[in-house]
Amino acid sequence: MKYTDNIVIVTGAGHGIGRAVAIAYASVGAHVVIAERNREAGEAVANEIHTAEAATGKASFYQLDVSQPQEIEQLMQAVAKRFGRLDVLINNAGITAWESPYDLTVDAWDHIMNTNLRSVFLASREAAKLMRQNGGGAIINLASTRAHMSEPHTEAYAASKGGILALTHALAVSLGPDGIRVNAISPGWIENGDYSLLRPEDHKQHPSGRVGNPDDIARACLFLTQKENDFMTGTELVIDGGMTRKMIYVP
């Protein structure tokens, strides 16, 4: 996979999946825009890319709070001014909250929706304006298997991720004529902490035999945004070790 001189934006790239995705694109020659709210975390990832022997690409940090529409617009304007193009957008930034539906406030609901869902639409729209000037591009929206299944007290998060799936196929249809492909990835259990602390039973509950890690998602992003895979758009790629296909019975 070669992304030499491609311009790639990754939101929420200061940690976890976003960090792995940013590093993956830099390793194959892209110039990655680290769009992250936490300045210290974002700059650390950019420095990590610059000092990595395996990285053939580059990185730039831009501070971004995706819940603020004007900041999304300013980011895209800055990318247009500096690079004059955009090839890939990875909408990864998001937050979660565990709150009983009896206690979830309207403000808390709106904050999750604005951060997780509205931001995906706005970033995609602004990115598409730039992409279509250069023949198209690719957008990936990070959803979740929680768009299909839930634990208690995750209503706002689940709704936001379900909305991302619907938004993905809607954008794919609308932006397709401009050469822009839009796909979604729904991760399952992706361990962002100390992988060595996972228990054998954590791994065994997955048909794949292990819990996922951020690199599993990063490799999928590289695959979906390859120009040769231009027949893939409007789809959801579930990466969960088979968990959503496993029937569970209580003995």
Catalytic residue set: 157
Q: Cβ(10)–Cβ(21) under 8 Å?
A: yes
Residue 157 is which amino acid?
Answer: Y
Q: How many CB atoms lie within 10 A of CB 209?
A: 10
Closest CA to 225 of 84, 80, 32, 44: 32
Query: Per the structure block, which two tokens stand in for 85?
Result: 């193009």
Q: Cβ(237)–Cβ(145) under 8 Å?
A: no
Round to whole Å and give the CA distance between 211 and 127: 33
First-to-last alpha carbon distance for the chain, in angstroms, is 47
The label of the residue with tokens 């976890």 reads 16
Burial 195-205 (b: 16+ CB within 10 A, else e): eeeeeeeeeeb
